[in-house]
Structure 1
């Protein structure tokens, strides 16, 4: 995987305007976000449970945000005085409800408690998920006013975090904006995701002279996939967006892509002979949401001045290059 610091962010301002604390900075999205913020001129303080390779220009602070309690985070914020805190920590592919409760609910509650009592006011950018919404019928785009009735434990725990953040903004305890991300793809895509697992099988099962057998669950759905670099640019915009306070903003591609097309594209880009086998009950665990998803991003254009720029081919090429280089095993969020 190319260093995250190499990400290109069109029109990003070089503000040199302070420090940003990135929680979950060693995870898939966190690494991309930190790289984008650094390119935009911010100093990065990376916070995560476990030390992993980060750019030499970042400072790293190990902390389990739940076990440490709010006091340790208050001390960190008061000492570092960041302009923003980005919460890229959390769980997507946890096998237990308890794991998602801890990382997606309890962690946010602890973070909000720390920000409320800190003597320094920093903007919080909370990374939520479009899976907080109710699944919509084919042809109905998700918007920020769509019903919030998640169909999964992941969506329910993420929704708790979003609502807690919005309540804290209403009481004046924090300055925050919530970005609800669609399905993020790019360099370092975790193996727990569908495309991450396909890439792993292409690498692990290829036999000289014979095609790799790629086993997946039936590919009948369509999803809105967004590039990790586009997501990172949205976070940069959210840090300084004057109109962002107390807003929920969807970050997505604005289009629905058949999952089969994305898998076929990955196999094509890999250049490896492969046979796709769809077997019910096998392959990576997927979120059991609607068969079709597309997300409206007009609010992101208005509030953040952001719009998606990269194509499905861009994001899948980045995924494959990183996987082929042996840098495919990053966690979904905080490690």
Structure 2
């Protein structure tokens, strides 16, 4: 993404229909969601606190929903009358408990207040996380009826937001669907994530020398899903009336050991590297489970969606984008995602 979008003017006539407001559109998942929406023929109105590089075809509206309160967003909805609002904002990687409360709880409260006060009623697609569930034993896949009970601050803050959305939908104040995302990987994966840190260490070494990749102990298995698959699930959710008021899990449907993903990234990078476990700068959240798998049967049934990309696809995209940013001497992080690692 190389060009700044134009700052939106409320009420400005547009040739295309099907406008969608994307909160957190400049973050990792938000950028992928916006790209998929545009490919599907929608007009993207990106809402975020700070302008960063986005496609010139998108419109941009600077807004801090938490600080400005629900009134500003209500006015924007009245002027723009979007088909849907996608909440891709939130705090994920290496943030404090205060940041997570602000991004995953207060923002959702402001968003729901804005939608409740709005005479125009767009569909809300809220991006939650499978880390809202209680840990399951190895081999037991998460389904939508699995008990919630997260053991991490991140999971608890995301669950708060999801419950608020579902409560508002049940009370008839909003029309909404919650997509609980597994661990999202792809171009733009935040540098504070496990694979983002590995990519950064690979790029830090000269091409003719061995990179020393230092990581925390690689003991976990996770469901990793491609960011493009996630964005296509968002588009599918907007088209499915059967999903309204529901929670739908979005993942790859298989669990991969994190070491496999790290080894794959090193291999696809073409760099020589020595992997050193137990010395990384990441601190594991207390209570983090060691195995996670996600059942995506409901997504297939309600959304007509199925994951299409492989671990090789998502890791290859991650590396290509990281290498390009490394060559440019800059990069962008942040944005909403499914969770750790």
Q: TM-score, normalised by structure 1?
A: 0.93
Does residue 258 of structure 2 align to residue 284 of structure 1?
no
Distance in 2, Cα, partners of 1:285 & 1:240: 40
Number of equivalences: 320
Distance in 1, Cα, partners of 2:2 & 2:271: 21
Q: How does 1:50-61 map to 2 (within 5 A)?
A: 50-61=50-61
Does residue 304 of structure 2 align to residue 305 of structure 1?
yes
- Provide the secondary structure at the position in 2 that maps to 1:180: strand
Q: Do 1:189 and 1:328's aligned partners in 2 also have CA atoms closer than 8 Å?
A: no
Q: Do 2:30 and 2:89's aligned partners in 1 also have CA atoms closer than 8 Å?
A: yes
In the TM superposition, residue 283 of structure 1 has moved relative to its aligned partner by 3.1
Task: After superposition, give the CA deviation of every residue in 1:220-253 in whole Å (9 maximum; x if it has no partner).
Answer: 1110000000000000011121101100000000
Q: Which residue of 1 aligns with 2:258?
A: 259
Q: Which residue of 1 aligns with 2:237?
A: 238
Runs of 4+ in 1 over 6 A off after TM superposition: none
Q: Do 2:84 and 2:123's aligned partners in 1 also have CA atoms closer than 8 Å?
A: yes
Distance in 1, Cα, partners of 2:181 & 2:253: 11
Q: How does 1:139-288 map to 2 (within 5 A)?
A: 139-204=139-204, 206-207=205-206, 209-280=208-279, 282-288=280-286
CA shift in 2, pair 1:249/1:283, >3 Å: same
Distance in 2, Cα, partners of 1:85 & 1:32: 15
Task: After superposition, give the CA deviation of every residue in 1:29-67 in whole Å (9 maximum; x if it has no partner).
Answer: 000000000000100000000100110000000001100
Q: Which residue of 2 aligns with 1:114?
A: 114
Distance in 2, Cα, partners of 1:223 & 1:96: 23
Q: Do 2:26 and 2:335's aligned partners in 1 also have CA atoms closer than 8 Å?
A: no
Q: Which runs of 5+ in 2 are unaligned?
A: 4-15
Q: Do 2:2 and 2:53's aligned partners in 1 also have CA atoms closer than 8 Å?
A: no
In the TM superposition, residue 332 of structure 1 has moved relative to its aligned partner by 3.0
Q: Do 1:192 and 1:285's aligned partners in 2 also have CA atoms closer than 8 Å?
A: no
Q: Do 1:19 and 1:43's aligned partners in 2 also have CA atoms closer than 8 Å?
A: yes
Distance in 2, Cα, partners of 1:222 & 1:148: 19
Q: Which residue of 2 aligns with 1:13?
A: none
Q: Which residue of 1 aligns with 2:6?
A: none
In the TM superposition, residue 207 of structure 1 has moved relative to its aligned partner by 3.2
- Provide the secondary structure at the position in 1 that maps to 2:274: strand
- Provide the secondary structure at the position in 2 that maps to 1:67: helix
Q: Do 2:185 and 2:315's aligned partners in 1 also have CA atoms closer than 8 Å?
A: yes
Q: Which residue of 1 aligns with 2:131?
A: 131
Distance in 2, Cα, partners of 1:94 & 1:67: 22
Q: TM-score, normalised by structure 2?
A: 0.91
Distance in 1, Cα, partners of 2:83 & 2:106: 24
Distance in 1, Cα, partners of 2:69 & 2:265: 42
Does residue 65 of structure 2 align to residue 62 of structure 1?
no
Distance in 2, Cα, partners of 1:103 & 1:138: 31
In the TM superposition, residue 136 of structure 1 has moved relative to its aligned partner by 0.7
Q: Which residue of 2 aligns with 1:84?
A: 84
In the TM superposition, residue 330 of structure 1 has moved relative to its aligned partner by 2.2
Q: Which runs of 5+ in 1 are unaligned?
A: 4-15
Q: Do 2:177 and 2:245's aligned partners in 1 also have CA atoms closer than 8 Å?
A: yes
Q: Which residue of 1 aligns with 2:332?
A: 329
